[in-house]
Amino acid sequence: MFVTGLVLAAEGSPQLGVPRQLLAYQGDTLLGASLEIARDCGFDQLIVTLGTASEQVRERVDLDGARVVESPHADTGSSSIVPALDVVDRRTDGIVVMLGDQPGVTSATVWSLVAEVAGPSTPIGVSRYENGRGNPCWFGRELFGELRQLRHDQDIWGVIDTGRHPVTDVDAVGNVPLRVESWGDYESLVAQPNAVDVETPVVPPASVPTRGRITRRSFRRRRV
């Protein structure tokens, strides 16, 4: 299985007055920390979408290993997923959608999601936390045509909830990780206990198959 990770970071932050992607977080930026988690997932391809703050983000965030897709109209409601689909590798079996302002998602959650949707074709996979559904989400290649019709990135939940496609809910630990849409969200995020003393595995469980099978080689950073 060939898996593409898609980190959505094009949405603006009018309530904050500054690009949320560049807010400080554990010695990095919010987007930088989110991308580091995405790199740890060892996707066969990694894509990140950027919006009107693209120039500032490029100056301050390490985008190594990610294919950058410009989506300057995301602030006015256009979906950044649509242009991202244009650069998805033709070998891709599906995409894992993550958010650039949600650094609390873990690579283990992504690996569990991919493990559940691998094998027989699964159109949609959703992480099911203790307090409801959340990202990351999986969309198989057969859904790409429908995703191209999205008007807003958040409309992926409409695709999930229509009932037209089978949805696999995959258990995830804890509550839906916080994302930053207001200063209150940011204050809550940075106030959370720092889990740096928790050791994160270098490679995913062997049960998570991708193209050929995810290995240490495929989990190293890649330059795109």
Task: Supply the pLDDT for residue 75.
Answer: 65
CA distance 36 to 40: 6
Q: Which helix (H) or strand (E) holds 95?
A: strand 94-99
In one letter, which amino acid is 189?
Answer: L
Q: Record the pTM.
A: 0.84
Between the CA atoms of 192, 187, 72 and 48, what dihedral angle is there, to the nearest 10 degrees? -10
Q: Are 186 and 142 in contact (CB under 8 A)?
A: no
Task: Supply the pLDDT for residue 120.
Answer: 67
CA distance 75 to 208: 36
Tens digit of each residue's pLDDT, the chain (224 residues): 899 999 999 987 777 878 889 999 999 999 999 999 999 999 999 999 999 889 999 999 999 999 999 987 766 668 999 999 999 999 999 999 999 999 999 999 999 999 998 766 689 999 999 999 999 999 999 999 999 999 999 999 999 998 889 999 999 999 999 999 889 999 999 988 764 333 333 334 443 444 433 332 233 333 33
Q: Give the gyration radius of the chain's Cα atoms.
A: 16
CA distance 190 to 185: 9
CA distance 1 to 218: 12
CA distance 63 to 80: 17
Task: Supply the pLDDT for residue 59.
Answer: 93
Indicate the burial class of 214 (C-beta count within 10 angstroms; 0-12, 13-18, 19 or more): buried
Task: Supply the pLDDT for residue 194.
Answer: 60
CA distance 176 to 37: 16
| Residues facing 3 on adjacent strands | 94
CA distance to 93, 117, 139, per residue, from 120 (Å): 11, 7, 13
